[in-house]
């Protein structure tokens, strides 16, 4: 249950806890399944859900991924999600109690989406009142959403000026990758003995799709797919702690890769993913760890090089 924290305007709020909106979308969809509003074998259309519930496509995709992992959904031969099982009837209450009209949640999603797409670039100042007017909400609502994003590591509070998008430097990028180089091999080692062939098939299909699309795929789509690949391996490791530690670090990297990521590495990056997948299929943990380390070192070098060069002018 989402914690309700009083808003004190005289001093900064600390440690505001929120339930992930993707978790709430998950609960809502599970409720629809429990009430049998959605039928076994019927296709789940992420775009329709996005429009119906007024949330981002990213949020809906995360909820669908969680439902596939829980075996309520599965993917068909085209990789599209379809209903595969019904949860207990008690879960039906979720569909009735869910409220997507929460303005703070909506504001949070809008700001996060703009940061991750590069509409708000690192170092840019976001003003509460103009954004509140644009979204048709109270400035206090924007402030609360911004506090959530501050806790997530995306914004910094500027007294009497608004909020600044975190500006990562080369040393921050290097530090994040150094932590990943320590922890992700542990996750891959665990995943080698636990990840299912079905999950590996799904990851490989997405790799093939991104390689085929190449530079036609947006930077945001490529980085989102990259994040999904790594997160799936963490979640398959059997260690919730590893996933909890790694997820915010990798998501923060989108602050720089969404804005400055250079075209040209798409195929290479996903070919490296496929090498990791191949080792996991053979249940060769040693090789999978070796491939992951090589992949992370290459990614670190490319991202550091990209960040230290000025943006190209088109």
Domain that holds residue 223: 170-308
Q: What is the pLDDT of residue 244?
A: 85
Same-domain check for residues 56 and 134: no
Co-location of 264 and 242 in the same domain: yes
Average pLDDT of the chain?
A: 80
- Distance CA(133)–CA(89), nearest Å, equals 42
Share of the chain above pLDDT 70, in %: 81
Q: Please report whether residue 5 resides in a domain.
A: no
Q: Say which residue, 176 or 77, is predicted with more confidence.
A: 176
Q: Is 245 exposed, middle or buried (0-12, 13-18, 19+ CB in 10 A)?
A: middle
| Same domain, yes or no: 140 and 224 | no
157 and 174, same structural domain? no
pLDDT at 161 exceeding the cut of 50: yes
Residue 255: inside a domain: yes
Instruction: Output the pLDDT for position 137.
Output: 83
Question: Last residue of a domain, which of 114, 134, 165?
Answer: 165
pTM to 2 decimal places: 0.61
pLDDT of residue 309: 62
Asked if the structure places residue 71 within a domain, the reply is yes
CATH number of the domain to which 154 belongs: 1.10.10.10
Last residue of a domain, one of 165, 188, 208: 165
- Among 97, 132, 150, the domain boundary falls at 97
Q: Give the residue with greater pLDDT, 15 vs 242.
A: 242
The answer for residues whose C-beta is within 8 angstroms of residue 87's C-beta and 6 or more apart is 30, 33, 34, 72
pLDDT, greater one: 233 or 311: 233
- Statement: residue 163 has pLDDT above 50: yes
Edge-first strand order for the sheet with 162-165 is: 125-126, 162-165, 155-158
What confidence score (pLDDT) does residue 93 get? 47
Percent of the chain with pLDDT over 90: 28
Per the structure, how many domains does the chain have? 3
Secondary structure (3-state) at 230: helix
């Amino acid at each position: 249950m989402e914690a309700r924290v009083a808003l004190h305007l005289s001093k900064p709020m600390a440690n505001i806890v929120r339930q992930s909106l993707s978790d709430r979308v998950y609960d809502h969809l599970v409720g629809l399944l429990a009430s049998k509003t959605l039928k076994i074998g019927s296709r789940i259309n992420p775009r329709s859900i996005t429009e119906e519930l007024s949330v981002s496509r990213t949020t809906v995709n995360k909820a669908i991924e969680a439902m596939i992992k829980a075996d309520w959904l599965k993917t068909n031969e085209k990789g599209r999600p379809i209903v595969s099982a019904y949860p207990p009837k008690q879960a039906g209450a979720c569909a009735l109690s869910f409220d997507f009209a929460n303005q703070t949640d909506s504001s949070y999603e809008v700001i996060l989406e703009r940061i991750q797409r590069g509409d708000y670039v690192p170092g840019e100042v976001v003003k509460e009142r103009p954004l509140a007017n644009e979204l048709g909400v109270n400035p206090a609502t924007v402030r609360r959403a911004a506090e959530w994003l501050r806790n997530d590591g995306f914004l910094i509070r500027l007294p009497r000026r608004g909020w600044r998008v975190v500006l990562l430097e080369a040393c921050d990028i290097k530090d994040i990758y150094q932590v990943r180089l320590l922890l992700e091999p542990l996750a891959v080692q665990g995943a080698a003995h636990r990840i299912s062939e079905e999950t590996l098939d799904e990851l490989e299909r997405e790799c093939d799709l991104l390689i085929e699309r190449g530079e036609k795929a947006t930077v945001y789509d490529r980085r989102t797919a990259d994040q999904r690949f790594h997160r799936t391996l963490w979640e398959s490791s059997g260690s919730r702690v590893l996933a909890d530690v790694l997820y915010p670090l990798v998501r923060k990297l989108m602050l720089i890769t969404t804005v400055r990521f250079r075209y040209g590495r798409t195929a290479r990056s996903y070919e490296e993913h496929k090498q990791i997948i191949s080792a996991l299929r053979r249940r060769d943990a040693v090789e999978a760890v070796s491939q992951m380390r090589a992949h992370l070192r290459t990614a670190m070098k490319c991202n550091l090089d990209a960040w230290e060069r000025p943006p190209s002018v088109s």
